[in-house]
Each structure stands twice: as C-alpha cells, then as structure tokens.
Amino acid sequence: MKIGYDAKRAFFNNRGLGNYSRNTIQLMSRFYPEEEFFLFSPKKTEKGIVFQQGEHSRTVTPKGIWNPLGSLWRTFGMVSDIRKLGLDIYHGLSHEIPVGIEKTHTKSVVTMHDVIFLQFPELYPYIDRMLYKQKYLRSCEKSDRIIAISNQTKESLIEYGHVEGEKIEVIYQAVNPLYEKRVSEEEKNQVRHRYHLPMSFMLTVGAVERRKNQLLILKAIEKGRIDMPLVIVGRHTDYIEELKQYISSERMENQVMFLTSLSDQELAVVYQMSELFLFPSLFEGWGAPIIEAITSGVPVITSTGSCFHETAGDAAIYVHPDNVEEMESSIQKVLGDSSVRKEMIERGKRYVRQFTEESVANKLMKVYKSLR
C-alpha cells in the first residue's frame, strides 16, 4: 500500500502537533515496514527536525513553479503529486487535506485534534477563526474518514462542526517510548546543571498562553505559601507578561523558572526529575503532556471538564480551572503525603497500558484498509 502523510509539522514543529505527526509516521513505518510511505513537506527538510522515518519512506517537496510557494502547494498543488504517485491513502495529520483530493482515486483521512476555535472563539483573532473554519471543516467534509484524538474531540466536531458522527473514528495518541525509559542520575545531573534547575520542583509543560491557565498555579503557590519552585516549559506568548507581573507583585522571582527550547530527550529527563506535574488548562483536544507525565512516573493535578478524564483516568487529581483554593489544597496534599504520591504513580502505571504504540498502529491500519 502507498500511504502519504502531511509531514509539515513532523519536520518543522516541536510542539504537540509535531509530536503527533512524528510519532504516527514512526510507529506506522516500524509496525508496517512492508508498506511505502510518502512524507509531504512544503519546503526542503535539511534544516528541519531529524527523526526516524523508516526504510521505505521518501520525502516529497514542491518542484517547478510550486517550489517557492510551499504553503500554496500544500493546499492546492500537492494533489497533483498525490495523483502522479498513485497513493492509496493520504492522511492529513493536523486538520487539513489538500483541495481536490476527493477527485482523485486516493482515499483521504484527516486527524482532528480539536475545534477550540469554535468552542472558545474569544481566544482567537477573527481572521484565524475564519481561516480555520474554512480549511478544517472543509477537510472534514471532503475526507473519507476522520480520526479524532479523543471522544471529547469527536463530540465537539459533531456539536460545533456539525460533522457526521458515523464518519469519525476515535484513536488515542500513542505514548512515546521516550517517556517510559527510566533515566539515570547522571542524565538528571547533566540536565540540572545545563539549565540550573533546583533539586526539587513542580513542573508544567505547554505553551505559555491564557488557555493553559498557568496563572492559577502561581496564585495557588502564593496562597498556600508553597516553597517548592515551579518550572514552566513552553513557547511564550503575550500571556507571559501577565504571569511576570504577578510574579513581580508577589516577589516570586526566585521561585519560578521559564524554559522554552528543550529537546524531547531533555524534556523526558525534566519530567522524571519533577515532584509534581500541574496542568490546569481550560480546554484541550487531548492534553498530551498529561499522559507524558503519567508515563514518566509523576503524579498529576489537572482540570475538571474537557478531555482530561479520558487522558488521565483515575491517575490524576482534578480541580476546577478557576478554583485557586482547590489547586492549592491539592498541591499540598500530594507534596505532603508520600502515600498519596505512591498510589497516584501506581494507578498511572496501570492506566497508560492502553496507549501502546502497537495498539494505535493497528487501529490506524484498520482504518486505512477499510477504505480500500
């Protein structure tokens, strides 16, 4: 079978969508090495993220008049290459498929991570909302099958995007084995010295933006006079100024550290170094950092609502994303009682067994074969 993937974010995005794309390409090439894989990138990948692609994988980039127009090629020109290659399946890994693919003999699949731009429009500029609505919902309409990364995403697609439920298959993200591997004390010490990390700290991972709600953590720390440092890992947006103002007003400068550019390996080490993982996001399609932390053997406190009970099951403590007192008392509970920590970690070990790469690969291949 010839299978094509939208690999833009696999090569050029080191956040959630990039991780999902890389993990999907890697696990499918590993569990189905007999298939041919074509990775479509809108620009040359020499300066992109390096990852294992499989023996029978090749990269496809724009040529001729499309060469300087990578973004337009990805939307309008790629379909010509798909037709020439005679692909059996094309999988858009991040919300999109190219215009016109429904007129080819290639069956299309699109992964939808969320439709937060429809549920919380106030979090997005008007032009972005209109662009996402046009591109993403068109992809849902024209694709032969939709992969939703959670039941929450499926329900949101039906309710807000008016997508046919029968067309949607829920397949959870696989856990990257990187987070399962126990790191040595030497590795921990190397990363600690490299980034001047404290011996003990709480951790939160995700873009520093309003939806991720990191201010709730700061308020809980201040309210409870919790003296353990907090490390915030993620890309910065304007929201960081609000956090810094609060940090300054409460004289917390020595207690909060920001990191922006960790490698995957470094992040795996930082997870395992942390005492507690905090993720009070207002809404997510999946919340991959939660499952990464649980797999790393770290107790987790996250939000009620959204998809988080799917992501963490019985392995986490849940607090309302607006309730400072609840967050503060939950932090105190976990940090102050080793038996609570131990039980949460043990429940996490049991819960993550359902997110194996083999299981996810088999489910994806079942979808592909059902379209042939």
Residues 286-319 pLDDT 10s: 889 999 999 999 999 999 988 899 999 999 999 9
How would DSSP label each residue in 185-211?
HHHHHHHHHHHT--SS-EEEES-BSGG
- Examine the pLDDT at 331 and tell me if it is beyond 90: yes
- CA end-to-end distance (rounded Å), the chain: 10
The region of weakest confidence among 92-96, 100-104, 116-120, 208-212 is 116-120
Domains observed in the chain: 2-174+356-370 (3.40.50.2000), 177-354 (3.40.50.2000)
Answer with the residue of higher pLDDT: 368 or 175.
Answer: 368
Quickly tell me which residue has 């308020």 as its tokens. 219
158 vs 38, 111, 307, 353, CA distance in Å? Answer: 31, 14, 15, 29
C-alpha dihedral, 301 to 306 to 307 to 311, nearest 10°: 0
Predicted local distance difference test score (pLDDT) of residue 16 = 83
Residues 141-161 pLDDT 10s: 999 999 999 999 999 999 999
- Examine the pLDDT at 251 and tell me if it is beyond 90: yes
- Examine the pLDDT at 55 and tell me if it is beyond 90: no
**Residues 6 or more apart from 294 whose CB is under 8 A from it?**
300, 312, 315, 316, 348, 351, 352
Q: Give the Cα separation of 19 and 10 in Å (integer).
A: 7
Most confident of 43-52, 79-88, 283-292: 79-88
